[in-house]
Amino acid sequence: MTVNFQHVLRPVCCHGCLAVLNTIQQNGLTEEYLRSKEQVESSLI
Ligand SMILES: [Zn+2]
Protein backbone atom coordinates (compact mmCIF):
# COMPACT_ATOMS: atom_id res chain seq x y z
CA MET A 1 0.00 0.00 0.00
CA THR A 2 1.41 3.38 -0.98
CA VAL A 3 0.40 7.03 -0.85
CA ASN A 4 1.44 9.89 -3.16
CA PHE A 5 3.00 12.33 -0.71
CA GLN A 6 4.99 15.35 -1.91
CA HIS A 7 4.92 13.80 -5.39
CA VAL A 8 6.69 10.73 -4.06
CA LEU A 9 5.13 7.33 -3.59
CA ARG A 10 5.70 6.33 0.00
CA PRO A 11 4.85 3.04 1.65
CA VAL A 12 2.26 3.09 4.41
CA CYS A 13 1.36 0.33 6.81
CA CYS A 14 -2.41 0.74 6.80
CA HIS A 15 -5.44 2.73 5.66
CA GLY A 16 -5.13 4.84 8.80
CA CYS A 17 -1.70 6.17 7.83
CA LEU A 18 -2.87 6.69 4.26
CA ALA A 19 -5.81 8.77 5.46
CA VAL A 20 -3.59 10.80 7.79
CA LEU A 21 -1.17 11.70 5.02
CA ASN A 22 -3.98 12.64 2.67
CA THR A 23 -5.51 14.84 5.35
CA ILE A 24 -2.17 16.53 6.00
CA GLN A 25 -1.80 17.41 2.34
CA GLN A 26 -5.38 18.59 1.96
CA ASN A 27 -4.97 20.92 4.93
CA GLY A 28 -1.59 22.29 3.85
CA LEU A 29 0.18 20.87 6.88
CA THR A 30 2.90 19.13 4.91
CA GLU A 31 5.73 21.38 6.10
CA GLU A 32 4.71 21.09 9.72
CA TYR A 33 4.41 17.35 9.36
CA LEU A 34 7.86 16.99 7.81
CA ARG A 35 9.36 19.28 10.45
CA SER A 36 8.03 17.09 13.23
CA LYS A 37 9.29 14.00 11.43
CA GLU A 38 12.79 15.45 11.20
CA GLN A 39 12.88 15.69 14.97
CA VAL A 40 11.96 12.04 15.27
CA GLU A 41 14.52 10.98 12.63
CA SER A 42 12.32 8.04 11.77
CA SER A 43 12.16 6.30 8.43
CA LEU A 44 8.56 5.41 9.13
CA ILE A 45 5.75 7.61 7.97
ZN1 LIG B 1 -0.49 2.62 9.66
**Is residue 19 one of the residues assigned to a domain?**
yes
The domain total for the chain is 1
Could you tell me the distance, in angstroms and rounded to a whole number, from the CA of residue 44 to the centre of ligand 1? 9
SS3 per residue for 3-41: EEECCEEEECCCHHHHHHHHHHHHCCCHHHHHHHHHHHC
**Is residue 3 one of the residues assigned to a domain?**
no
**Is residue 29 one of the residues assigned to a domain?**
yes
Could you tell me the distance, in angstroms and rounded to a whole number, from the CA of residue 38 to the centre of ligand 1? 19
**Is residue 34 one of the residues assigned to a domain?**
yes
Could you tell me the distance, in angstroms and rounded to a whole number, from the CA of residue 7 to the centre of ligand 1? 20
CA atoms of 3 and 38, how far apart (whole Å): 19
**Is residue 24 one of the residues assigned to a domain?**
yes
CA atoms of 43 and 16, how far apart (whole Å): 17
Q: Give the per-residue pLDDT at 45.
A: 56
**Is residue 45 one of the residues assigned to a domain?**
no
**Is residue 1 one of the residues assigned to a domain?**
no
Burial class (CB within 10 angstroms; exposed 0-12, middle 13-18, buried 19+) of 30:
middle
| pTM of model > 0.75 | no
**Is residue 18 one of the residues assigned to a domain?**
yes
Domain range holding 31? 9-40
Block means of pLDDT (10 residues each) for the chain, length 45 residues?
A: 91 95 93 81 58
